[in-house]
Structure 1
Amino acid sequence: MSHFLIAQFEILRGRLQQFLEATSENVADQMPQGFNNTIRWNVGHILTVADTFFGLKSCSGLEPNRQTGQEKSPLWKH
């Protein structure tokens, strides 16, 4: 994956974090008219999908194994 794209995503991640930090809990949990989810949910969805797309994290929250692409279980060391 292009380092440029990942760098752009990191900029987006930082701006979304700044946005949420400047947004009250009440506003972040509001569901705008015409939308099916809250602002907080939408930001989380953007970050989760992008992380998965760039191979930074899987949707399940398990870290991918960079060599095989398989997810490592949190219990893999046991």
Structure 2
Amino acid sequence: MVFKEGTFNGELPEHFDGPHPAWLEAAVADALSVAGDVDASDITVTCKGTRIILSGSVGTAEEADRAVAVAASVKDVSEVDNRLSWL
């Protein structure tokens, strides 16, 4: 067994009010991936607090609106910033 030096060094872990950003990003990405009317292959999901930022591209303006609606429906999402472009 190999013992590695600890990296915690007595510092407290970072605290988040509300859900962890990685959890919220993953939940929105999952919701977009199973939405039948959204091609999420070129959508990037990032999180600032409980605000979701969607960037990338989709096929139509209607698909962008649907992506925003799907993201907004995820629990704990307070706001969706639509930075999607379409062809």
Structure showing greater Rg: 2
Q: TM-score, normalization: structure 1?
A: 0.31
The structure richer in helix per residue is 1
Q: Which has the higher contact order (CA 8 A, sep 6+)?
A: 2
